[in-house]
Amino acid sequence: MRRHIGGPMTFSTMGMLLSTSLFIYAAWLTSIVFCASNGLHNLLIAAAMFFPVGVVHGVGIWFGGW
C-alpha cells in the first residue's frame, strides 16, 4: 500500500470515500424506513437524531441481527 502525501485526490481515494459514504447513508436510510414502517417511534427518533444509532441499526437489519 502506497501512502500519498499532498497533491490532488487520487481516483482510488475518491472511490473509497464515495462507496463508504453511500454505505453509511444506505444503512441510515434503511433504519429510518424500517422504523417508520413498523411503528417503532422511539427508535425512529433516536436513529434520526443520533446518526450512528441509525447506521448501526441499519447494518443490523441487513445482516439479521435484529
18 within domain boundaries: no
42 within domain boundaries: yes
Domain that holds residue 43: 23-62
39 within domain boundaries: yes
- In this structure, which amino acid lies at residue 27? A
31 within domain boundaries: yes
Per-residue confidence at 1, pLDDT binned at 50, 70, 90?
low
- Which pLDDT does position 23 carry in this prediction? 98
- Which pLDDT does position 4 carry in this prediction? 63
5 within domain boundaries: no
8 within domain boundaries: no
- Cα–Cα separations (whole angstroms), residue 31 to 8, 18, 22, 38, 63: 35, 20, 14, 11, 12
Q: How many domains does the chain have?
A: 1
For 22-61, what is each residue's pLDDT tens digit? 999 999 999 999 999 999 999 999 999 999 999 999 999 9
27 within domain boundaries: yes
**DSSP-derived secondary structure for 24-51:** HHHHHHHHHHHHHHHT-HHHHHHHHHSH
* CA 56-25-54 angle, 5° bins: 30
pLDDT above 90 for 66:
no
pTM of the model: 0.82
